[in-house]
Amino acid sequence: NAGVTQTPKFQVLKTGQSMTLQCAQDMNHEYMSWYRQDPGMGLRLIHYSVGAGITDQGEVPNGYNVSRSTTEDFPLRLLSAAPSQTSVYFCASSVTAGEQFFGPGTRLTVL
């Protein structure tokens, strides 16, 4: 099993550009989530999904969209990138409440 994979590993955007961060898992987990990690703030939940076709907002959803068309994939879209979205983004998946498996992260810089 590859576990949770994320692409790209690094990305630089200009303000106003859009892009999609990819996340996939091969463990048949129903629950998937996106977090952003900023210094001194830990990880904050952006969006999550409890199964294909079901998504909901987390703590910091503004500026991000998600969809869940399959169990395996959970892409995160930045519609119009802003410097405040410079961060490290982690995708995670879970089969039980709480215990989540994390991907390696995407480091995003918005200029």
Partner 1 sequence: AQSVTQLDSQVPVFEEAPVELRCNYSSSVSVYLFWYVQYPNQGLQLLLKYLSGSTLVESINGFEAEFNKSQTSFHLRKPSVHISDTAEYFCAVSENDYKLSFGAGTTVTVRA
Binding residue (CB under 8 A) for partner 1 from 48, 64, 81, 87? 48
CB of 64 to partner 1, least distance (A): 16
Binding positions for partner 1, 76-105, rule CB under 8 A: 90, 92, 94, 97-105
For the purposes of burial, counting CB atoms within 10 Å of the CB of 68, is it exposed (0-12), middle (13-18) or buried (19 or more)?
Answer: buried
Binding residue (CB under 8 A) for partner 1 from 17, 22, 44, 65? 44
Q: Rule CB under 8 A: is residue 33 a binding residue for partner 1?
A: yes
Three-state secondary structure of 64-96: EEECCCCCCECCEEECCCCHHHCEEEEEEEECC
Phi and psi at residue 84, to the nearest 5°: -65, -15
Distance CA 61, CA 57 (A): 6
Q: Rule CB under 8 A: is residue 2 a binding residue for partner 1?
A: no
Q: Rule CB under 8 A: is residue 41 a binding residue for partner 1?
A: yes
**Contact positions vs partner 1 (CB under 8 A):** 4, 31, 33, 35, 40-45, 48, 50, 58, 90, 92, 94, 97-105
